[in-house]
Amino acid sequence: MKRASAIALDYRTPGAWLRVLYHALSMAKRVQGKVALVTGAGSGMGRAGATLLAAEGALVVVADINEEKGRRICQSINDAGNQAVFAALDVRSSEGVQRVVDETVSRFGRVDVLYHNAVDVRFVNEEDRRLTELPEETWDRMIDLVLNGTFRCCKYVGRQMVAQKSGSIILTATVDALIGCAGMDAYTAAKGGVVSVTRSFAAGMAKDGVRVNAICPGFVTTEPQMEWISRPEAKAMMAQLHLLPVATPEQIAPFVVYLASEESSAVTGGIFPIDSGYMAFKANVDLMGVASGQQ
């Protein structure tokens, strides 16, 4: 036997235990064995979050209103040797949310993680307005999709987490709920509600072992957003608004995994901007004017 091998395994060598621990941690999957329900998982941040959660050991329920996209993401996760199942879900339906939660528990016994990310990006970009020009039906639809959808998912997943005395709920808000954004009054109001309920719900759920946090992305190069981010005038605006390049969905996903994992066991009620420096300095740009092609 070569002497070098014995030296390499000699834990009396200075720093050896740290190297062993680092190696063990680097090989461990961060959410191994957890059951994660991801809404809006058919594209964008939901897709990236579901994919990384699965790669880190979770069994992922890919929930989306678009069955074709959702099944395609589910298949790609399984093809990579990880575990995912598809569930059709419209978060505007209380019955639909209850059904997906019940089926998940019936099949897997629990729900350890909720990553709630469902939204209609095209609807937000094309239909939102200043309040004085905003149709009431647009306001009602936005509140029902974004804020009421969050309520439904938190209510029914939360009940299961209370029963099992554990869980991590990760909500998707937006930096536009934290700072003003002209012309997006319905969306910012709905997401502002998500920010507020994150804190109050976290306070109420802590005694039952459930953590609740929200991420607040800035602009992200999701598939739906690229329809207008790719425009030359939008690209120029992005450069003015961000200190770093606009984030990809894959750059948001690691923080989601952190909040889902036991690494964040002391974190609840948090509101976390992930915005490439968007909130770090002042800018004066009419975002909705650019998005609609008026500038």
Give per-residue burial for 182-207: e unless 16+ CB within 10 Å, then b.
ebbbbbbbbbbbbbebbbebbeebee
DSSP state letter for 177? G
Using alpha carbons, select from 77, 82, 80 the residue that is nearest to residue 57: 82
Residue 187 annotated among the catalytic residues of the structure: yes
Q: Catalytic: which of 11, 115, 156, 187?
A: 187
Separation between Cα atoms, residue 200 and residue 195, nearest integer Å: 9
Using alpha carbons, select from 132, 124, 199, 128 the residue that is nearest to residue 169: 199
DSSP state letter for 279? G
Residues ≥6 apart with Cβ < 8 Å to 150 = 91, 116, 171, 193, 194, 197
HSE on the CB side for 174, CA within 13 Å?
A: 25
Separation between Cα atoms, residue 227 and residue 206, nearest integer Å: 40
Annotated catalytic residues are 187
